Amino acid sequence: MSRDMGHQNRNNYGFAMDVVEQTPTPFYYYDMDVLHKTLQEIKRLIEGYPYTVHYAVKANGNPQILNTIAKHGIGADLVSGGEVTAAVEAGFKPSDMTFSGVGKTDREIRIGLEYGVGCFNVESIPELEVINQLAGEMGKTAHIAIRVNPDIDAHTHRYITTGTADNKFGINLEVLDEVVCHAIALPHIHLRGLHFHIGSQITLMKPYVMLCETVNRLLDHFEQQGISFEMVNVGGGLGIDYDAPDEHPMADFASYFGTFKRHLRLRPGQRLHFELGRAIVCTCGSLISRVVFVKENRNKKFVILDAGMTDLIRPALYEAHHTIQNLTSNNIDEQETYDVVGPVCESSDVFGHDYQLPVTRRGDIIAIRSAGAYGESMASCYNMRQLPAAVFHSNH
C-alpha cells in the first residue's frame, strides 16, 4: 500500500498523527519534506564543483523514493541487475549510473552493458576479463573504474567496514599498477578512473581525510607514469545521528563535502563522484508499529510490537541502535524501562534493551526512527509475515 498525503497537524516529533493513526501497522512512514531538504542541501553544497553524487539504491529501492531522487538530477549506484532495471524505470539516466559489486553475474553485466551504464566499478582481474569479453561479444565498450582497497580502517561496525586489506572488496594497492595496465590494454574496456569505498555509518572526517591523502598519492603516482584518469569515485559511507534524530535531522554534509573540497587535489578536467546511500534517505524514514502486549517477566518488562526484525533487521543483525518514541504518550514524568521487542520467533528480535519510554500500554503507537536506509530494503517475509507497507507524507 502506498499513499500520498498533505497534512499540517504534526506532533512534537514531526509526525502527521492523522496519517499515523489511520494506517494499519506496521508501516514505513516517509517524510518527503525531509528528503527534499536533504537533496537540496546536497545540491547547494556541490554547486560549482566538478562533483557528481550517485544515490546508493541498496539503501532504499522504494519506487517513490527513487523517483523523487531521480527528479533531483542525482545519479544512481547499483549492485544488481534488479537495481539497474529499477533505476532505469525510476528515471535515472544510465550514463549517470555506477554498477558496483564483487560478484556481478554475466547476466547482470549484460544488463549493464545493454543500458549503457556510465561506469562499472570493477573489483577483480577475472571480472575485468569477463566484462571485456562480454562487451566485445555485444559490440560495446565498457566504461569502468577500478575499485581500490585503500587499507583504511573507518572504525565502524565490523560488518560494514569495507576498506581494510583483509576483506573481499577491491584490488589491493600492491597489485594496482598491474591491474591498471591490464585494463588499459584490453580492447573493449575504457578505463575512466579509480573507485574507493571505505565503509558505512562514518561520522568522523578523519577516515575521509586519509582517503583523500591516498587518492592524491595514487594520482601523483600514475601521473608520473603518464596515466591520467577522467574521474575518481570516493564511494559513500557518510553516517547520521541515530541517537538524536530530532536535533540532527540531516547528515553533516557540509563537513563531508568540505573535507573533499579541502583535501582532495583534483586534476584539471577531472570529476569527483560520490555514492551516498544512508545519508540521503535514513532520516526521512521511520518504522511505525503498535504495541500488541505489555508483558512482565520476573526481572523485565517487555513492550511487544507488531513490527519485528523482518521489517527492520538492523538491530538484530548489527546491534544497531535506533531511537524509539511512543507517539501516543509523551508523558516524560512517568517513565519505565522496557525491552522493546518484535513478535518474531528469534531471541535477537529486539529493537531496544532496557529502553526508557513513557509508561506504555497496549495499542500505543511506537516510532522507530532513522529507518529510511537499510530498513524497507532489507525486509523479509520470515515467519510468513507480510512485507511492511509504506506511506509518504509531505506538507507541500
Tell me the CA distances in angstroms from 7 to 79, 282, 286, 389, 392, one per residue in order.
36, 22, 17, 19, 11
**Among 189, 134, 191, 195, which residue's Cα sits nearest to residue 163?**
195
- Distance separating the N- and C-terminal Cα atoms of the chain: 21
- How many whole angstroms separate alpha carbon 91 and alpha carbon 59? 17
> Does 32 contact ligand LLP by CB under 6 A?
no
* Residue from 96, 108, 127, 275 binding ligand LLP (CB under 6 A): 275
CB-nearer residue toward ligand LLP: 284 or 357: 284
CB-nearer residue toward ligand LLP: 15 or 374: 374
**Among 108, 114, 72, which residue's Cα sits nearest to residue 94?**
114
* Residue from 314, 322, 369, 385 binding ligand LLP (CB under 6 A): 314
* Residue from 20, 34, 53, 59 binding ligand LLP (CB under 6 A): 59
Beta carbon of residue 377, minimum distance to ligand LLP (angstroms, whole number): 8
**With contacts defined by CB under 6 A, how many residues of the chain interact with ligand LLP?**
21
Of the candidate spans 11-19, 89-97, 193-201, 263-271, the one that interacts with ligand LLP by CB under 6 A turns out to be 193-201
* Residue from 207, 277, 308, 388 binding ligand LLP (CB under 6 A): 277
> CA-based angle 296:329:288, to the nearest 5?
85
CB-nearer residue toward ligand LLP: 197 or 393: 197
* Residue from 31, 77, 127, 364 binding ligand LLP (CB under 6 A): 77
Residues 317-376 that bind ligand LLP (CB under 6 A): 318, 374
> Does 113 contact ligand LLP by CB under 6 A?
no
- How many whole angstroms separate alpha carbon 232 and alpha carbon 270? 8
CB-nearer residue toward ligand LLP: 200 or 283: 200
> Does 278 contact ligand LLP by CB under 6 A?
yes
> Does 196 contact ligand LLP by CB under 6 A?
no
AA identity, residue 136 = G
> Does 160 contact ligand LLP by CB under 6 A?
yes
CB-nearer residue toward ligand LLP: 108 or 364: 108
Contacts of 333 (CB under 8 A, 6+ apart): none
Beta carbon of residue 196, minimum distance to ligand LLP (angstroms, whole number): 9
Rg (CA), the chain: 22
Draw the binding track, 203-242, toward ligand LLP (x: CB under 6 A; -: no contact): --------------------------------xxxx----
- How many whole angstroms separate alpha carbon 241 and alpha carbon 239? 7
Of the candidate spans 107-115, 126-134, 270-278, 324-332, the one that interacts with ligand LLP by CB under 6 A turns out to be 270-278
Residues 92-111 that bind ligand LLP (CB under 6 A): 100
> Does 201 contact ligand LLP by CB under 6 A?
yes
- How many whole angstroms separate alpha carbon 368 and alpha carbon 197? 28
CB-nearer residue toward ligand LLP: 25 or 156: 156
**The C-alpha cell that represents 303 in the structure block:** 513492550
Phi, psi angle pair for 252, to nearest 5°: -85, 75
CB-nearer residue toward ligand LLP: 70 or 304: 70
Q: Which residues bind ligand LLP (CB under 6 A)?
A: 56, 59, 77, 100, 160, 162, 197, 200-201, 235-238, 275-279, 314, 318, 374
